Amino acid sequence: MGRINVSRLVMGGLAAGVVANALDYVINRYLMQAEGEAMMTRLNLSTDVVASSVPVWIIVDFIYGMLLVFTYAAMRPRFGAGPKTAAISGGTLWLAICAIFAGLTAMGIYTGPAFVKSSALTLVSTMAASLTGAYLYKE
């Protein structure tokens, strides 16, 4: 069993982060805009506060990209290199996040329909980011 190639992990993770950020921008700005506005109103959130959180979410997506590639690199010895393993590793992290957001939905932070729509769109974003990062990762 070889060591993880840290330089390729960082390169793939940054690329995955770029993909995640681009897709999350489209998802949140266009595809989930109505749900986001409804949530802000329902939770009495200020548009200024929400807007000021954008840099944090950009960083979160880059961290997520690194985690996607790390998970792929860790699973490679067991499942082999390639898109199937990238999908398995991405799906694993996506499922973990969905479990947390299901709890937030149960608390009333998200509505059921918004959770389902967001989860489906986030699956697309996660798979695209995971496949991109895995493509660039080599041992």
How far apart (Å, rounded) are the C-alpha atoms in residues 41 and 62? 28
Residues 4-32 have pLDDT tens digits of 999 999 999 999 999 999 999 999 999 99
Q: Where in the chain are the domains?
A: 6-134
pLDDT of residue 116: 98
Q: pLDDT tier at 1 (50, 70, 90 boundaries)?
A: low
Q: What are phi and psi of 97, to 5 degrees?
A: -70, -40
**How sure is the predictor about 2, in pLDDT bands with cuts at 50, 70 and 90?**
confident
Give this prediction's pTM.
Answer: 0.96
Q: How far apart are CA 125 and CA 106, in angstroms?
A: 24
DSSP string, 34-48: HHHHHHHHHTT--HH
